Amino acid sequence: MLSPYGLDIIESCLTCKMRADQIFCDLPDQALQSFEQIKYATAYPKGAILFVEGQAPRGIFVLCKGRVKLSICSTDGKTLILKIAEAGEVLGLSASVSGKPYELTAETIDPCQVNFVKREDFLRFLKEHSDACLRVAEQLSEKYNSACREIRSLGLSHSAAEKLAKLLLDWAVKNGEGAKQEPRIKLALTHEEIAQMIGTSRETVTRLFAEMKKRQIVQAKGSTLVIRNKTALKALATT
């Protein structure tokens, strides 16, 4: 079924073709049938806010289609984008389990389909299905490891150029382009948002891209960025 945002909505988790590829979605049939009874499938446009940093946890959001920007803000209004969540990820998980406020803000950067489950229903679901508890533990462990990698990248990198190079290489791997001689990356973020991901200014990101293009390390083709010299980009990432 098509939504107002042009999405082909997945009506049932039981018939979803992505199940086998996602940790939380690949539950035994009995658990998945129980999950089907408590979830609400919703379509969101680009730029919709799922939840806000500091908000009391209402429940979890299973991202079925699209991408979501996860960010935190300082008291003076500065924003740091922690991650771009992809289809199959569970958002608001740690807050819903602990009962503490959401630790970040989730905003859609594409039209998205999201399965929402109320916190009380989700906690009851976990008590009744041990397999689901294991999946949640795996998800939380992966999020912890991912956070450590991000902190290491931001905290131990010596320059904005190094951080940007690492980000581009990471995106290439996530897009299945990592092994190619000239990986292609679909850039869905603005220079301002990329700056928020690596803790620098928009002007710096614009300057770094211009320098990379001048050195023929990367080439822009519309919204696609082609890594023309992967060796040089890797050298920037290890300076």
Q: pLDDT band for position 3 (50/70/90)? A: low
Report the pLDDT value the prediction gives residue 86, as an integer from 0 to 100. 87
13-156: CATH number? 2.60.120.10
Q: Mean pLDDT across the stretch 99-110? A: 95
Q: pLDDT band for position 103 (50/70/90)? A: very high
**Could you state, in order of their start, the residue ranges of all structural domains in the chain?**
13-156, 160-237
Q: pLDDT band for position 13 (50/70/90)? A: confident
Phi, psi for 136 (deg, rounded to 5): -65, -45
List 219's β-bridge partners, or say none: 226
The model's pTM:
0.78
**Which of 1.10.287.3510, 1.20.140.10, 3.90.1170.50, 1.10.10.10 is the CATH number of 160-237?**
1.10.10.10
Q: Is the pLDDT of residue 97 over 90?
A: yes
